[in-house]
Amino acid sequence: METRKRPVAEALCLLLLLAAAGCGDDGLKPDGPAPSLLSVSPAVGTVGTELRLGGNDFRPGASVLVGGTPSGTVDVVGSTETFALVPEGVVEGTTYDVEIRNSDGTSFKMPAAFTAVAPHLSFVNSATKPSGNTGSTVIVEGDAFGDVRGDGQILFSDGVGGTIAATIAAAEDWTNTFIVTTVPSGAQTGPITVSTATGTSESLPFTVTQNAVFSPSAIHWTETSAMPGGVSGHAALYVPVEDPTGVTVQRVYVVGGVGQGGAVSGDVLQAEILASGGVDTWESLTGLSAPRAFAEAVAATPFNSKVPGAGRLFVIGGVDGTGAPTTTVSVLVLDSLGAVTTVTSATPLPVALRSAGAVVFRSQVYVAGGATTDDQPVATVYRAAIDTLGALGPWVELPSLPSARATHGFQVFGGVLYAVGGDSSPVAPGDPATNQQGRLDQVAFAKINLRTGDLAGPWTVNGASLGKVRAKHSALAAGGNMFVSAGLYSAAQQGSSENTYAQINADGTVGSFGGATGSNTLLSAGAGNLFNHAAIAYIDADGVAHVMVLGGESVNAPGTRSGKVFYY
């Protein structure tokens, strides 16, 4: 039997070898040049971290391997860019090669390109000593969380040595650098940590509070160091700057505006925020190359973007010395002492705008609404990316606001953009009238696509309105609330409507607005009946959250501008 089967077996083997050789000639024939890898970022992370591979000659169907383990999710965007999720099995502290392999068998391996690490927790609600109510929205910020939640958890204290995991409402609420969640029921004051497949982060102390962090009913305004002169239509920025010794110094900057005599200013002021929450003496810095008022300004620093050094201030649009809106974008480069070293220009806006809204989120600048020539409001929304050199890329148009508006509030919280109130009809920026037609009581919001920076969908009008039409006010997303101060509305004097707030919900909606019931208003504290003022939200050295209101014009005495500064 063996002598009969052997020739048959040998023949079968020969056929299989020939078939394999033929398949090899067809299947392994290169479809083009072998791929090359020039970059892999981020260099550290965990299971589910999205890696961006840059290089050349990536082809559809390519696979990505981390330490020899294939990624289960690979997206070949083009021949020079591919995204892949870090697969399960990576171990904390281990460094891995990253390989891209085209389906024709050609490949390229970058040695030691990725290291698995435990998550790093930096801030919760932008604070190192955060607090919040049960059920309130919190944003956890840091690094190496993973772009897919997987086994990751946000762990609060249960008060007896254990932990309670917070609920993550939607997949997009968990990203590699921040997580949106809510304080879980049963949580007690104690440490908060982030846990992933590759370890547990350092902890931050979290205080579970009973009342809203920014309840206007409990406001106690305190006057602090005044600016050198009265100003309105200016921009104010909260900017943390790491000094040469590595200590983070918190600063507030004021840019441009209309001075007491009515002239447009190019001045730039800076003051250090004290441990008490107030500010030290104001200092004049290198100013703008041309006067600007009713411009928007945003700060891009290592705390919120990819910029190098201490950071940059971007001053966007506004009116020039003649009152005409501009397209200009100025860049003020900061040093480690908070001074302005140089003033340059960046990519101009597509159209001239003043009284728009602008924010920075994940190295993207977003600009919404504003008024162009003849005080005509617009509904357009733009974004531009800030690169690792601090340069601003081209402006990309995004889905428009539900309607045109200017002199509105504009904020970002938890990856959601908010436009609050504003004028929808042509109104001069300094007009103090409280009963203008076309004024809005609307809050509109849109979610950001965290991967691309575009909007994830159209704008939505929030179910709860402001309660009063309002413009030339300030709106801040702080402590899990939308906080609105002063401005022009139907009342001649600001009473309980001077400050209103509403909780920002986990789904991005905003709850019902409530007004202050106490008597300690800005007006009674001596700030005046304000409009066209500026405001910032910040955290003092003890981790206490504050709001600061700076300058502004009096509704009751148009043209009278204040240099006073108040905080609580």
- Give the tens place of pLDDT for each residue, 311-351: 999 999 999 999 999 999 999 999 999 999 999 999 999 99
Query: Is the same domain home to 438 and 361?
Result: yes
Number of compact structural domains in the chain: 3
Return the amino acid letter for 302: P
pTM beyond 0.95: the answer is no
Residue range(s) defining the domain that contains residue 134: 120-209
Question: What single DSSP character describes residue 274?
Answer: P
Query: Is the same domain home to 137 and 227?
Result: no
Identify whether 404 is part of a domain. yes
Query: Is the same domain home to 348 and 403?
Result: yes
Query: Is the same domain home to 296 and 312?
Result: yes
What is the per-residue pLDDT across 93-137, written as a single tens digit (0 to 9) for each? Answer: 999 999 999 999 999 999 999 999 999 998 887 667 777 778 878
Instruction: Please compute the mean of the pLDDT values over residues 55-66 and round it to a whole number.
Output: 97
Query: Is the same domain home to 75 and 130?
Result: no
pLDDT band at 4 (very low <50, low <70, confident <90, very high): very low
Q: What is the CA radius of gyration of the chain?
A: 27
CA neighbor of 355 nearest in space, from 298, 265, 428: 428
Q: In DSSP terms, which residues pair with 238 in a beta bridge?
A: 252
Ramachandran quadrant class, 177 (left: phi over 0; alpha: psi -120 to 50; beta: rest):
alpha
Please give the order of strands across the beta sheet that includes 514-515.
Answer: 474-478, 481-485, 499-503, 514-515
Say how far apart CA 45 and CA 233 lie, in whole Å. 43
Residue 54 C-beta-side C-alpha neighbours within 13 Å: 6
Query: Is the same domain home to 562 and 442?
Result: yes
Identify whether 13 is part of a domain. no
Strand ranges (DSSP E) for 346-438? 357-361, 364-368, 381-385, 396-398, 409-413, 416-423
Question: Cβ distance 316 to 358 under 8 Å?
Answer: yes
Predicted confidence at residue 518, as pLDDT, reads 61
CATH of the domain at 157: 2.60.40.10
Hunting for tokens 């100003």 — which residue is that?
231
pLDDT at residue 507 is higher than 60: yes
Residue 292 C-beta-side C-alpha neighbours within 13 Å: 29
Main-chain phi, psi angles of 53, to 5 degrees = -100, 125
Identify whether 149 is part of a domain. yes
**Domain final position from 209, 229, 256:** 209
**Domain final position from 60, 94, 116:** 116
pLDDT band at 12 (very low <50, low <70, confident <90, very high): very low
Residue 218's SS3 state is helix
CA neighbor of 429 nearest in space, from 292, 253, 564: 292
What is the per-residue pLDDT across 445-482, written as a single tens digit (0 to 9) for each? Answer: 999 987 688 999 999 999 999 988 999 999 998 777 89
Query: Is the same domain home to 201 and 245?
Result: no
DSSP string, 28-81: TS-SSSPPEEEEEE-SEE-TTPEEEEEEE---TT-EEEETTEEPS-EEEEETTE
Question: Cβ distance 144 to 176 under 8 Å?
Answer: yes
Query: Is the same domain home to 124 and 255?
Result: no
Q: Per mean pLDDT, which range of 49-58, 301-310, 313-322, 558-567 is the poorest? A: 301-310
Query: Is the same domain home to 105 and 143?
Result: no
CATH of the domain at 368: 2.120.10.80
pLDDT at residue 7 is higher than 60: no
Query: Is the same domain home to 179 and 275?
Result: no
What is the per-residue pLDDT across 68-87, written as a single tens digit (0 to 9) for each? Answer: 999 999 999 999 999 999 99
Question: Cβ distance 539 to 139 under 8 Å?
Answer: no
**Domain final position from 62, 95, 116:** 116
pLDDT band at 513 (very low <50, low <70, confident <90, very high): very high
pLDDT at residue 216 is higher than 60: no
Q: Per mean pLDDT, which range of 157-171, 244-258, 277-291, 528-542 is the poorest? A: 528-542
Query: Is the same domain home to 368 and 442?
Result: yes
